[in-house]
């Protein structure tokens, strides 16, 4: 197979990383499943060397794990794993809130946009869009602090925001409505620069977080 130019390799690496990361966040790859290079290179339409670099980056961020002998796998999250990562996420998001609310020039455009996207996807019945907007909302809170290293650390706490899919549309709608209400309350507190209220709302939102299920 011919060598790729550096710029082409970089582009394919980012393509593979972005696509696979999104699928992992949405739990569209079976937990415990081995990620076979030939299969995924063909699926993502990228060179295997670009895919290997994307795998290494995702492993460094905790999305996948390297096997004892060879290859990468999608980890199975145990209850203690979820509890640990939840604590990490809370610590990072609360720090972001403190730093952001201390800055009079904090930009909340991305947080506001994610909140609006969540509402639009929810009302439109687009379940995968809801999940993506939910993730963007929390990432935007961290990014609003304007601390590059904090944002990088947050990306290494890849806790899925959903658990198991469901066909119960009434349950899905109720949980989405509650999540939207909580997002809006957190955003309102951030707009007032009320860090204490925003953090209390965030803790309740994450630690008592219900499933945000979807249909495949």
Domain identity same for 151 and 188:
yes
Tell me, what's the pLDDT at 214?
36
Would you say residue 135 lies in a domain?
yes
Domain identity same for 57 and 143:
no
Would you say residue 216 lies in a domain?
no
pLDDT for 171 beyond 90: no
Domain identity same for 203 and 102:
yes
Domain C-terminal end among 20, 39, 73 = 73
Mean pLDDT of all residues in 148-177? 73
Q: Per residue in 91-150, pLDDT tens? A: 999 999 999 999 777 789 999 999 999 999 999 988 878 888 998 999 999 999 999 999
Q: How many CB atoms lie within 10 A of CB 205?
A: 19
In this prediction, residue 24 has a pLDDT band, given cuts at 50, 70 and 90, of: confident
Domain identity same for 58 and 122:
no
Domain count, the chain: 2
- The CA distance from 56 to 189, in Å, is 38
Would you say residue 213 lies in a domain?
no
Which secondary-structure segment (H or E) carries 35? Answer: strand 34-35
Would you say residue 198 lies in a domain?
yes
Domain C-terminal end among 36, 57, 73 = 73
Q: Per residue in 68-80, pLDDT tens? A: 777 899 888 778 8
In this prediction, residue 201 has a pLDDT band, given cuts at 50, 70 and 90, of: very high
Domain C-terminal end among 73, 103, 129 = 73
CATH code assigned at 107: 1.20.120.530
User: What sections of the chain are H helices per DSSP?
Assistant: 6-25, 37-44, 48-60, 79-101, 109-124, 127-143, 148-154, 169-191, 195-207
Domain identity same for 104 and 155:
yes
The domain of 159 spans 79-207
């Amino acid at each position: 197979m011919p060598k790729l130019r550096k710029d082409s390799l970089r582009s394919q690496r980012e393509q593979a990383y972005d696509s696979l990361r999104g699928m992992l966040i949405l739990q569209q790859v079976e937990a415990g499943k081995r990620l076979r290079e030939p299969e995924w290179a063909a699926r993502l339409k990228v060179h295997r060397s670009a895919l290997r670099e994307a795998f290494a980056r995702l492993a460094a961020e905790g999305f996948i794990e390297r096997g004892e002998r060879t290859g990468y796998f999608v980890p199975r999250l145990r209850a203690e794993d979820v509890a640990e990562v939840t604590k990490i996420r809370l610590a990072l998001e609360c720090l972001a809130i403190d730093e952001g609310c201390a800055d009079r020039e904090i930009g909340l455009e991305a947080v506001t946009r994610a909140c609006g996207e969540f509402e639009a996807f929810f009302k439109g019945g687009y379940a995968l869009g809801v999940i993506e907007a939910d993730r963007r909302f929390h990432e935007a809170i961290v990014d609003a602090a304007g601390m590059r290293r904090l944002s990088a650390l947050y990306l290494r706490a890849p806790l899925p925001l959903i658990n198991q899919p469901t066909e119960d549309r009434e349950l899905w709608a109720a949980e989405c409505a509650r999540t939207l209400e909580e997002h809006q309350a957190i955003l309102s507190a951030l707009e007032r620069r009320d860090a204490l209220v925003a953090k209390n709302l965030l803790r309740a939102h994450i630690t008592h977080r219900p499933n945000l299920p979807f249909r495949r």
